[in-house]
A and B are shown apart, each in its own frame.
Chain A
């Protein structure tokens, strides 16, 4: 399936409208024209229904919606009225329509193209039947944004106004009673003209909206294109873009799945982290090569230093993914599938990025296939822009994947679906096959590693956003989209990014694989550690603010930060807080007390990026019940909780019941793990990163887990 965009369909409609105008003559069948003109107007009206708006009358009347909503609804209504008037005169304008008439044929094709455009937009919104499985696509928010809806309104109004010449032509040959209707249709079209969005205001935003509108693709991912081994650089760039498109769509779909049905597993996350590290490394190499082409860069008006910044950003991204892959050596989900929905596309991405960076069309990661090809003599500006766009797309897909992985890993960890070898964690002499549930401090470390991955990946792609726009690269849509929606679209907070070199990786890995001492802070309060780290490091809250927010003393916050290697800041009194991640709990206002109403369950949901009000209300109910239960327990056993003004225990029922939690731990985790779907997946998707010609890796067996 070739990538098709709304712009292509609009251009197709325009070309047919032009053909129809140039083919119009005295003998043209008027009824055919009337019928198809009505369809054109109907298609334009349909296009204006996106994004779906309710209560049309109230919107037009001004009691609902914004000014833009009213303009859109007014335009829609004007076109509907014009279409109705034209339909009304169909029977009065000569004999039946002839399919062979070229004018009517072109108008019909224009209507078809516009209807297809409308359907294409609709693919981003599902069926609108309230099906819970349907999630709006990544583009849905963009299409609903004001600049894009304004651009859609302008595009459709322009085409509606163009229909006036046809109404005039029909009116000039129509009997009086039909002319009255056509005059009314003309007046409605004139009204539509007046509802066109004004130009000139916020020109940049208008231009961005127009560009994004034309680039709206079909929501379905393009078909996979398997690397052939003889692809030209241009074909490699196209292939990379296709893989990135597919990864974005698939990642988005997978991240919205429940843990028990998703195809993501420990081995597949491990594979994804390795592939992403390789792609980031290759991207850094490719950009470094581009940075050396000063002549081409000068012609494009790009400063080589900006590319150097991007190279550094990709080096950090590579290191972060490498760390994640190292952690997965010691963590498993207990499911045997090594391949997930993204595995094949990641492998394609690795191959093509390697081939592009090395200049060797047969490059594979295998030692014997990785020799670089001949260095290209020169790179035309358009070729340079294409390469930059391909890298940009790859980076964007990895950033999506990082955010989705972080969310999924959090969900898996919260459900207790992650395991670690007992010999690493507790007893070095334990059986190889003995696994225990991932302790919460390790879960926090894993989450923190993925937070680093997500930050680094988003930073890398943002470095390329501006470059792509500057050189007018085909991928500038990504940059425009991020500008329009803001970094919060899928990115975590742009928190502090310490350099992640080999030593830092080794330290984190050592901390991750150290034996569990069982001491320290109580189990159950550990998940809050991530929130503490986020609040201190990413939201730039002070120790006191964190202490107030989490209901503990500053020394506890300090201990948590030290334990997790988070560097302490000097006093930041008076500094403004950094941007907050969309999934982070809102920071407490300086000087204000923490929100005591946020209970443990509620905070866990918020930390996991879940803001659904129903779920939060249920979590609050759980918290309230837990509080009551604890109070009752304290009263009935006549034991007072230790509590001082400095170090109040967090209001966490799980922290008070470690013994209960231990009793719940399954002896045979096989039974509690999510069911393993059939191993017989799509063979294409099971292709590994093996060199060409190798048979794909087969899955290992299901892990036997005993605690």
Chain B
């Protein structure tokens, strides 16, 4: 379920073309990352600091998009993550790192095409947050 949810959002990011849809997908992606990070953050494990730290840029990215002028007023219900037990922590980290990379690059493209400076700034901030998440979760060599 969690991996499928991540892949579904990534598909949405890949297939959206208008700014409003990118915002919606981006907002949902950051929410999902927060959800997964919050559930994976288990005190005592060596990854606790990583997941707790991931929640920071995920929250910042979501908030950046939340104030973008072109964000549509109506917004569907984001997918509710019932459980993360179906996936291993490493798999989730890999999937989220990939999602964050896709999210960052899509938001950067959106920043370049946005007409409103406030939209551009929101996209840039959110893209930075996505890149920070990718840096935190990417696997070492």
Q: Do A and B come together as binding partners?
A: yes
- Taking Cβ atoms with an 8 Å cutoff, the residues of A that contact B are 267, 270-271, 274, 277-278, 281-282, 284-285, 315, 318-319, 322, 325-326, 328-329, 332, 338, 350, 354, 358, 365-372, 423, 428-429, 431-433, 502, 688-691, 694-695, 697-704
Q: How far is the CA of A363 from the CA of B128 in the complex (A)?
A: 22
Q: Which of A284, A285, A688, A701 contacts B56 (CB 8 A)?
A: A688
Most A CB within 10 A of own CB, among B48, B71, B77, B122? B48
On whether the beta carbons of A367 and B52 are closer than 8 Å, the reply is no
On whether the beta carbons of B49 and A371 are closer than 8 Å, the reply is no
Closest Cβ–Cβ distance, residue A291 to chain B (whole Å):
14
Tell me the nearest residue of chain A to B35, going by C-beta: A329
Q: Say yes or no: A432-B43 contact (C-beta < 8 A), given A365-B52, A700-B64.
A: no
Q: Which of A271, A354, A429 contacts B74 (CB 8 A)?
A: A429
On whether the beta carbons of B63 and A271 are closer than 8 Å, the reply is no
Q: Which of A326, A366, A701 contacts B50 (CB 8 A)?
A: A366
Closest Cβ–Cβ distance, residue B120 to chain A (whole Å):
11
Residues of B within 8 A of A372 (CB): 46
Q: Is B47 an interface position by the 8 A CB rule?
A: yes
On whether the beta carbons of B55 and A274 are closer than 8 Å, the reply is yes
On whether the beta carbons of B138 and A367 are closer than 8 Å, the reply is yes
Q: How far is the CA of A329 from the CA of B63 in the complex (A)?
A: 10
Residues of A within 8 A of B71 (CB): 431-433
- With A322-B52, A697-B56 known, 10 other A-B pairs at CB within 8 A are A267-B63, A325-B52, A325-B55, A332-B63, A358-B46, A368-B141, A370-B46, A429-B74, A431-B75, A433-B73
Closest Cβ–Cβ distance, residue B126 to chain A (whole Å):
8
On whether the beta carbons of A431 and B129 are closer than 8 Å, the reply is no
Q: Say yes or no: A691-B136 contact (C-beta < 8 A), given A274-B53, A281-B43, A699-B125.
A: yes
Chain B interface mostly: helix
On whether the beta carbons of B43 and A319 are closer than 8 Å, the reply is yes
Residues of B within 8 A of A433 (CB): 66-67, 71, 73
On whether the beta carbons of B118 and A701 are closer than 8 Å, the reply is yes
Residues of B within 8 A of A428 (CB): 77
Closest Cβ–Cβ distance, residue B132 to chain A (whole Å):
5
Closest Cβ–Cβ distance, residue A332 to chain B (whole Å):
7
Most A CB within 10 A of own CB, among B41, B121, B126? B41
Q: How far is the CA of A71 from the CA of B47 in the complex (A)?
A: 59
Closest Cβ–Cβ distance, residue B54 to chain A (whole Å):
8
Tell me the nearest residue of chain B to A501, going by C-beta: B43
Which 8 residue pairs spanning A and B have beta carbons closest together?
Answer: A368-B140, A700-B64, A365-B49, A365-B53, A700-B63, A431-B73, A701-B67, A689-B53
Residues of A within 8 A of B57 (CB): 688, 690, 697
Residues of B within 8 A of A367 (CB): 47, 50, 93, 136-140
Q: Say yes or no: A274-B56 contact (C-beta < 8 A), given A281-B49, A700-B125, A701-B118.
A: yes
Q: Is B114 an interface position by the 8 A CB rule?
A: no
Closest Cβ–Cβ distance, residue A676 to chain B (whole Å):
12
Q: Is B7 an interface position by the 8 A CB rule?
A: no
Q: How far is the CA of A432 from the CA of B122 in the complex (A)?
A: 14
Tell me the nearest residue of chain A to B136, going by C-beta: A366
Closest Cβ–Cβ distance, residue A312 to chain B (whole Å):
12
Q: Is B9 an interface position by the 8 A CB rule?
A: no
Tell me the nearest residue of chain B to A372, going by C-beta: B46
Closest Cβ–Cβ distance, residue B72 to chain A (whole Å):
8
Q: How far is the CA of A325 from the CA of B61 in the complex (A)?
A: 16
Q: Say yes or no: A700-B67 contact (C-beta < 8 A), given A281-B48, A368-B138, A688-B56.
A: yes
Closest Cβ–Cβ distance, residue A326 to chain B (whole Å):
6
Q: Which of A285, A319, A432 contacts B66 (CB 8 A)?
A: A432
Tell me the nearest residue of chain B to A505, going by C-beta: B38
For window 95-128 of B, CB contacts with A under 8 Å fall at: 118, 121-122, 124-126, 128
Residues of A within 8 A of B21 (CB): none
Q: How far is the CA of A690 from the CA of B129 in the complex (A)?
A: 10
Q: How far is the CA of A431 from the CA of B69 in the complex (A)?
A: 12
How many residues of B are counted as interface, with CB atoms below 8 angstroms from the partner's CB atoms? 47
On whether the beta carbons of B47 and A697 are closer than 8 Å, the reply is no
Tell me the nearest residue of chain B to A276, going by C-beta: B52
On whether the beta carbons of B125 and A701 are closer than 8 Å, the reply is yes
Residues of B within 8 A of A277 (CB): 43, 52
Q: How far is the CA of A432 from the CA of B138 in the complex (A)?
A: 29
On whether the beta carbons of B75 and A432 are closer than 8 Å, the reply is yes
**Could you list 29 examples of A-B contacts with CB < 8 Å?**
A267-B60, A270-B59, A278-B48, A315-B43, A325-B52, A326-B38, A328-B59, A332-B63, A338-B60, A354-B49, A365-B136, A366-B138, A367-B136, A367-B138, A368-B138, A429-B74, A431-B73, A432-B75, A694-B135, A697-B128, A700-B60, A700-B66, A700-B122, A700-B125, A700-B126, A701-B64, A701-B122, A701-B125, A703-B67
Residues of A within 8 A of B66 (CB): 432-433, 700, 703-704
Residues of B within 8 A of A370 (CB): 46-47, 49-50
Q: Say yes or no: A697-B132 contact (C-beta < 8 A), given A329-B59, A338-B60.
A: yes
On whether the beta carbons of A318 and B122 are closer than 8 Å, the reply is no
Closest Cβ–Cβ distance, residue B67 to chain A (whole Å):
4
Q: Is B34 an interface position by the 8 A CB rule?
A: yes
Residues of B within 8 A of A697 (CB): 56-57, 60, 128-129, 132
Closest Cβ–Cβ distance, residue B57 to chain A (whole Å):
6
Residues of B within 8 A of A369 (CB): 140
Residues of B within 8 A of A318 (CB): 43
On whether the beta carbons of B27 and A278 are closer than 8 Å, the reply is no
Residues of A within 8 A of B77 (CB): 428-429
Most A CB within 10 A of own CB, among B27, B125, B126? B125
Q: How far is the CA of A270 from the CA of B55 in the complex (A)?
A: 9
Q: Say yes or no: A698-B125 contact (C-beta < 8 A), given A332-B63, A689-B53.
A: yes
Q: How far is the CA of A557 from the CA of B58 in the complex (A)?
A: 40
Q: Say yes or no: A322-B73 contact (C-beta < 8 A), given A274-B53, A365-B136, A697-B132.
A: no
Closest Cβ–Cβ distance, residue B46 to chain A (whole Å):
6
Residues of B within 8 A of A690 (CB): 53, 57, 132, 135-136
On whether the beta carbons of B118 and A278 are closer than 8 Å, the reply is no
Residues of B within 8 A of A328 (CB): 59
Residues of B within 8 A of A326 (CB): 38
On whether the beta carbons of B132 and A281 are closer than 8 Å, the reply is no
Q: How far is the CA of A354 from the CA of B52 in the complex (A)?
A: 13
Tell me the nearest residue of chain A to B122, going by C-beta: A701
Q: Which of A278, A284, A325, A429 contacts B49 (CB 8 A)?
A: A278
On whether the beta carbons of B44 and A281 are closer than 8 Å, the reply is yes
Q: How far is the CA of A109 from the CA of B104 in the complex (A)?
A: 62
Residues of A within 8 A of B141 (CB): 368
On whether the beta carbons of B67 and A702 are closer than 8 Å, the reply is yes
Residues of B within 8 A of A329 (CB): 34, 38, 55, 59
Q: How far is the CA of A285 from the CA of B49 in the complex (A)?
A: 12
Q: How far is the CA of A702 from the CA of B122 in the complex (A)?
A: 10
Q: How far is the CA of A326 from the CA of B64 in the complex (A)?
A: 19
Residues of A within 8 A of B139 (CB): 367-368
Q: How far is the CA of A372 from the CA of B140 in the complex (A)?
A: 13
Residues of A within 8 A of B56 (CB): 270-271, 274, 338, 688-689, 697
Q: How far is the CA of A319 from the CA of B118 in the complex (A)?
A: 38
